[in-house]
Amino acid sequence: MTPLDRIHALPIWQGPITASPLDGGITNINFVVTDGTRRAVVRIGDDIAVHQILRFNELAASKAAHLAGVSPEVLHAEPGILVIDFIDGKTLSAQDFADDSILDQAVTLIALTHREIPRYLRGAALTFWVFHVIRDYAGTLTAGASRYQPLLPELLAQAAALERAVGPIDMVFGHNDLLPANFLHDGTRLWLIDWDYGGFGSPLFDLGGLAANNSLTPAQETRMLTQYFDREPTETLWRSYRAMKAAAALRETLWSMVSETHSDLAFDYAAYTTTNLATYRAAFAEMKDFA
């Protein structure tokens, strides 16, 4: 059964439908579907063990995110398929975050995510600890005799140093995948989509990921931390944040390394690996005086 066959077989449509591929996904296959009454986004994807993606968790997070006011409504779900309401808006790019007003809206949305989603989340929930993810990715790369295997001892040693530098954490429910394409702007407000990696962890991972994935300037990082924590960042906070920012970039790098050999999607993962490895090395270079 093809993806389009599965879409046509869904019981939720009102009248004939049209379905068009939605570009930009690097984990799932996505379509925009129009029936007689509405447009919807259909996400097709099963569990992905190598990326620790479990669809029960994505569904629960998506429902809670809608109730918290940060994400569109879930219209239907069944094994391997998630249907959400279509938001008519612009998918952001990293360049959009050069506008401080967009950055401010994103930080407000992230804070709302962290604070409100736990109020609505139902059932079992996952944790997201980036250093576990990094170690697991390294194990996957080693088991698969990846061409990146010679880099792993150095990267794992650096990850261990970063984990020590993060220190004690507060715990929130994070999105944990703040790529620019996971933000939509409808002309009035921002929305946050795609909850594949949602889970409890440190707020600094989302903040560091936002900075690393969108090339925030040092001044913008100060602005972001000050807004989120409602105070000037201390040296201790800076140290923990910079360590988590580097870890976020390293996780994205290893994600791409694994995807090079474990994904069938038409995407240039090798180029993505090169870009993210450079981002990681720059972020790691910001760290000094490890304990």
CATH number at 253 reads 3.90.1200.10
Q: What is the pLDDT of residue 24?
A: 67
Query: What would the two tokens of residue 240 be?
Result: 């923990």
Do 56 and 153 belong to one domain?
Answer: no
Q: State the average pLDDT over residues 150-167.
A: 97
Mean pLDDT of 270-279: 96
Q: Are residues 164 and 27 in the same domain?
A: no
200 or 287: which carries more pLDDT confidence? 200
Domain count across the chain? 2
Among 48, 65, 85, identify where a domain stops. 85
Lowest mean pLDDT among 14-23, 143-152, 189-198, 215-224: 14-23
Look up the pTM and report it.
Answer: 0.94
Per-residue pLDDT averaged across 81-96, rounded? Answer: 97
User: In the predicted model, what is the mean pLDDT of residues 185-195?
Assistant: 97
Decide if pLDDT at 290 tops 70: no
In the prediction, which pLDDT does 265 show? 84
- What percent of the chain stands above pLDDT 90? 92
- Has residue 264 got a pLDDT over 90? no
**C-alpha to C-alpha distances, 48 to 45, 129, 220, nearest whole angstrom:** 8, 17, 34
d(CA 213, CA 179): 6
Mean pLDDT of 211-225: 97
**pLDDT recorded at residue 266:** 81
How far is the C-alpha of 91 from the C-alpha of 208, rounded, in Å? 20
Q: Would you say residue 96 lies in a domain?
A: yes
Mean pLDDT over 217-222 rounds to: 97
User: How many Cβ atoms from other residues are within 10 Å of residue 5's Cβ?
Assistant: 8
Pairing of strands 190-192, 172-174: unpaired
pLDDT digits (tens, 9 = 90+) for 37-73: 999 999 999 999 999 999 999 999 999 999 999 999 9
Q: Are residues 79 and 98 in the same domain?
A: no
Please indicate, yes or no, whether residues 195 and 145 belong to a single structural domain of this protein: yes
Residues 17 and 127 in one domain: no
Joined tokens for residue 271: 């180029």
**pLDDT 10s digits, 95-146:** 999 999 999 999 999 999 999 999 999 999 999 999 999 999 999 999 999 9
Domain hosting residue 16, numbered range: 3-85
Say what percent of the chain tops pLDDT 70.
98
The arithmetic mean of pLDDT across residues 6-14, rounded, is 95
Confidence bin at 291 (pLDDT 50/70/90): very low
Give the per-residue pLDDT at 32. Answer: 96
Cβ atoms of 70 and 184 closer than 8 Å: no
Domain finish residue from 45, 60, 85: 85
Check which CATH number belongs to the domain holding 81 and give it: 3.30.200.20
Strands (E), the chain: 18-21, 29-34, 39-44, 74-78, 81-85, 90-91, 172-174, 183-185, 190-192, 199-201
- Is 80 in the same domain as 152? no
Look at residue 196 and tell me whether its pLDDT is greater than 50. yes
